[in-house]
Amino acid sequence: MGTKAVLKGKGHVGIFFGAAWSGSCKQFLDPLIKVYNKLVEEKGKSFEIVYVPASVPGRPPEDEATYKELLAQMPWLAIPLHRKATQKKLTRRFQVRQIPMLVLLDDKGKTIHRDITPAVTHIVEDPEGDTFADQFPWAEKRHTNIKEMLGETFLAGDGTEKTMKDLDGKYIGVLLSAQWHWQCRRFQQMLEYMYEKLKSEGKEFEIIDMDFSKDVPWLCMPQKSFQAKQKLGEAFRVEQCPMLVIIDPEGNVVTTEGVEIVTKDTDGECFPWTPKPLYDLSTLEPEILGEMNDTVTCVVLCEGCDEETKKAMTDAMMPIADEAFQAAKLSGCEAGMLFFTATETSDVVYQLRMSCEIGEPTGSPQLVILDIPDSGAYYVFDGDNIDAENIRTFIEDYDEERLERKELQEDEEEADDAARSYEEMAARPLGLTDANQ
């Protein structure tokens, strides 16, 4: 059955990532079926679920027998087991890191919640579950306007009030911190330096601190704003501090990796750190650092090539990178694949070459896909002509699992220096895991 035909007219679609061998997925299946029946049969919601078999490093793939056994229990749709490329693209697009995971889309295919697994459990376990079900589709707070969540008034250190109107046109850093925590205090010193520098240069930037203090140069939320603070904490799933979220003048999230940015871009040279389709691995802008360990990455290394070839590689990568970038932006989720060129030598590029065992730079470009979440997997393009068509084919072959899989090698003596600029190469790669493990 065609995807468009079976999902036509559905107001919301849940994409259920799971595996037949996973105990946690089997435990989750029963409450999910109850919620599905409650929403569709009892409440008449326009809702459908599509099951996607998730591949997990270190675990055997689902076989036909276990897949059919699981399918027999589910009253919804499923991606056919043989469609490996579709499964891989969806897993990559929604950055599945644990299972079970249930992503919620609207009728236009835009992500409105990255994981509603807790909401499903709440409906079944809570006596007021029917009331909670009425709140379907449980839109994720992060996708609402963050400026509206912050409130209208803020306090400066001298006690004067500022309003949200005073911040029109500014990028805002929302700081989730704690004055008593030594890591937060140390980070605050770095942040103060960047803040003062950006302000002195006339940059449209302000910080709003959720922890009220008279000793900071930026604005703070009033102590009475405890409800707004709680909602912000829930929206960004705060598990540790400090955390710095950058939002644009319209209230959209630019990045949640503000701490990483301040640490790496101490002078704020890359402000306002907005995402872009194609990066240069040689310079490694700080806004992308925190994402590289969790996202599949496609890199063209051309630092040994002439300027004409470097430009040709950038021109070949850009339409593919921009297509993926715009698709992610339209769907409301983060990029499923990052794209880089490497036009100059650097510690990061050198470490990549050594880890992938592809040798010193030459006059010919080289193409690599890094899948660090998959236990440090990587794939090297085996060909002489790198152009847009061959890059697309290389990515398709990766999705179809037609490429030779290798794993990153690490030189222990050189890793310490490289780790400061390329943390995911020096750290033990993280892969997809069962949520119960």
Distance, in Å, from the CA atom of 428 to the CA atom of 419, rounded to the nearest integer, reads 11
In this structure, the answer to whether residues 102 and 178 fall within a common structural domain is no
Residue 272 located in a structural domain = no
Q: Is residue 271 part of a domain?
A: no
**CATH number of the domain that 98 lies in?**
3.40.30.10
Helix boundaries (H) for 220-379: 226-235, 258-264, 289-292, 307-331, 347-356
- Name the more confident of 319 and 4: 319
Q: Left (φ > 0), alpha (ψ -120 to 50) or beta: where does 357 sit? A: left
248 in a domain, yes or no?
Answer: yes
Task: Note whether 194 and 136 are same-domain residues.
Answer: no
Q: Is residue 120 domain-shared with residue 185, that is, in the same domain? A: no
Strand pairing partners for 378? Answer: 370, 406
Name the residue range of residue 200's domain. Answer: 146-264
Percent over 90 (pLDDT), the chain: 35
Residue 275 lies in a domain: no
pLDDT of residue 427: 38
Q: Are residues 297 and 349 in the same domain?
A: yes
Q: Domain check: are 138 and 162 in the same one? A: no
Can you list the alpha helix ranges (DSSP code H) found in 106-257? 117-125, 129-133, 146-150, 182-200, 226-235
Average pLDDT over residues 177-193: 89
Question: Which of 78, 107, 142 is the C-terminal boundary of a domain?
Answer: 142
Whether residues 96 and 135 fall in one domain? yes
- Of 111, 142, 173, which residue constitutes the final position of a domain? 142
Q: Does residue 282 carry a pLDDT above 80?
A: yes
Considering only 135-139, 198-202, 352-356, 409-413, which range has the smallest mean pLDDT? 409-413
For 239, the token pair is 């598990």
Asked, for residue 138, whether it belongs to a domain, the answer is: yes
Question: Facing residues of 245 across strands?
Answer: 174
Answer yes or no: do 152 and 134 share one domain: no
User: Is 285 inside any structural domain?
Assistant: no
Mean pLDDT over 180-186 rounds to 86
What average pLDDT does the segment 296-324 reach? 95
The reply to whether 298 and 429 lie within a common domain is yes
Say yes or no to pLDDT of 201 above 90: yes
53 domain-assigned: yes
Q: How far apart are CA 205 and CA 112, in angstroms?
A: 28
Helices (H) and strands (E) in the chain, counts: 16, 20
Q: What is the overall mean pLDDT for the chain?
A: 82
Reported as a pLDDT band with limits 50, 70 and 90, residue 328 is confident
Contact 222, 161 (CB under 8 A): no
Whether 437 has a pLDDT exceeding 70, the answer reads no
Boundary residue ending a domain (118, 142, 166): 142
Q: Are residues 326 and 390 in the same domain?
A: yes
Q: Which residue has the tokens 């993280």?
A: 430
Residue among 135, 16, 124 nearest 76 (CA): 16
CA-to-CA separations, 399 to 52, 178, 392, 407, in angstroms, rounded: 15, 43, 11, 17
Same domain as 153, residue 132: no
pLDDT of 254 higher than 50: yes
Residue 84 vs residue 123, higher pLDDT: 84
Same domain, 134 and 156: no
Max mean pLDDT range (5-14, 63-72, 163-172, 226-235): 163-172
Distance CA 53, CA 68 (A): 11
What does the alpha-carbon distance between residue 304 and residue 343 come to, in Å, rounded to a whole number? 8
Of 188 and 229, the structure prediction assigns the larger pLDDT to 188
Q: How confident is the model at residue 125 (pLDDT cuts 50, 70, 90)?
A: low
Instruction: Identify whether 280 is part of a domain.
Output: no
Shared domain for 136 and 208, answered yes or no, is no
Q: How confident is the model at residue 316 (pLDDT cuts 50, 70, 90)?
A: very high
Per-residue model confidence as pLDDT tens digits over 417-431: 433 433 443 333 333
Angle at 123 between CA 121 and CA 128, to 5 degrees: 140
Residues 199 and 183: their CA atoms lie apart, in Å, by 24
Q: How many domains does the chain have?
A: 3
Mean pLDDT of the 159-164 span = 90
- Binning pLDDT at 50, 70 and 90, where does residue 132 land? low
